[in-house]
Amino acid sequence: MARKAAGLPAALGALLLCLAAVAAAAQSSRVVDLPSRPGVTQRILVIAPEKPKAAVILFAGGDGGLTLEPDGRIPKLAGNFLIRSRQLFVEQGLTTVVIDAPSDRQSYPFLSGRRQTVEHVADVNAVIAWLREQAKIPVWLVGTSRGTQSAA
């Protein structure tokens, strides 16, 4: 009896690994450059589960400049709590969007002092509109630290 019980945790662990692999395969990840204002694009990283319940747009704190790479790497602010937690949102069935500073703000000071401007609102609105075109699901805005200004 003890021999069978000892094998159970290993089998359970293997099953959990298989389930994690299936879950990872059932999501897609891509970088999208959306036109947001004349001559300006808004780069976003989109991670979508197979059947999303809703979408979240994640706004990093600080200056908001992630310098998001075309392959989805995030060289700057990758350690930000909210950005680091993006996969947790996907695992809950949410299309998760990581938003960078727009193309005209891709150097210091990025979004510092610009989060409450008409231009920033236009950039965020372009992302919301694009998400609503992709799927008829609710869109939520989530920010941490200075990112709460963008979400508000």
24 pLDDT exceeds 90? no
| Per-residue pLDDT, 7 | 57
| Per-residue pLDDT, 113 | 95
Domains of the chain by residue range: 27-151
Please check whether residue 100 is in contact with residue 43, taking contact to mean a CB–CB distance below 8 angstroms. yes
| Per-residue pLDDT, 25 | 46
Give all strands of the β-sheet with 54-59 in edge-to-edge order: 27-37, 40-49, 94-99, 54-59, 139-143
Rounded-to-10 torsion of CA 117, 130, 84, 72: -110
C-alpha 46/C-alpha 66 separation (Å) is 14
What CATH fold (topology level) applies to the domain 27-151?
Rossmann fold (3.40.50)
Q: With bands split at pLDDT 50, 70 and 90, how would you rate the model's confidence at 135?
A: very high
Query: Cis bond leading into 109, ω under 30°?
Result: yes
Mean pLDDT to the nearest integer, 3-31: 59
3-state secondary structure of 27: strand
| Per-residue pLDDT, 21 | 47
| Per-residue pLDDT, 148 | 96
What stretches of 1-151 show up as alpha helix (H) in DSSP? 2-25, 81-84, 86-91, 118-134, 147-151
| Per-residue pLDDT, 11 | 53
pLDDT tens digits for 91-123? 999 999 999 999 999 999 999 999 999 999 999
Can you name the residues that pair with 142 across neighbouring β-strands?
A: 58
Q: Using DSSP bridges, classify how beta strands 40-49 and 27-37 pair: parallel, antiparallel or unpaired.
A: antiparallel
127 pLDDT exceeds 70? yes
| Per-residue pLDDT, 10 | 58
pLDDT tens digits for 39-94? 999 999 999 999 999 999 999 999 999 999 999 999 988 789 999 999 999 999 99
6 pLDDT exceeds 60? no
| Per-residue pLDDT, 102 | 98
